[in-house]
Amino acid sequence: MKTVHLLLSYSKETRVKIGHGVRLGWQKRREKQMMQEGCYFEWQNLIAEASRRGYTGEGELQWDSYNILRQQLEFEWVESVEKRKTTPRPKGSKRAPKSLEQRRKISEAIAAKWADPVSSYRHFLCYMFPPMNIDSEF
């Protein structure tokens, strides 16, 4: 708290003494906090080390298991990418071939559309793709 804006008028020496006392108080508080944080950090490390070692007869825990798993997954991913690069790719369509039954049904459906005189499918195709005369000159 600044003594400049107070209604009481302190002398110069009094303000210096108050400022010095306030700074000493804050310094002691910082020192105490630093000591507490240091003790807390040491205790935390001691507890972590004891739990890592475990009781007698128990195996040690691996604290970097996340890093080990991450490295293992990254290695497997790189291997799969390399494997994909080296495997030959099949030529042609990537879709599964249609069975004979499927092809028969599709051809019957197309034939039925062309045979129906009322169907707009035939008129649509004839309008969109008019017959081309190859012999005509441009």
pLDDT per residue of the chain (138 residues) written in tens, 0 to 9:
555 566 568 889 999 999 999 999 999 999 998 898 888 888 887 887 777 777 777 776 666 777 787 888 889 988 988 888 888 777 766 677 788 999 999 999 888 877 776 666 666 767 777 776 655 554
Residue 72: inside a domain: yes
Residue 56 maps to a domain:
yes
Give me the domain span that covers residue 67: 12-83
Residues 6+ away with beta carbon under 8 Å from 51: 61
Q: Which residues contact 122 (CB under 8 A, 6 or more apart)?
A: 113, 114, 116
Task: Identify whether 2 is part of a domain.
Answer: no
The answer to whether residues 72 and 112 belong to one domain is no
Domain count, the chain: 2
Q: Does 107 fall in a domain?
A: yes
Q: Are 54 and 106 within one domain?
A: no
Judgement on whether residues 73 and 103 belong to the same structural domain of the protein: no
**The pLDDT value given to residue 26:** 93
Tell whether 76 and 19 lie within a shared domain.
yes
Q: What is the pLDDT of residue 138?
A: 47
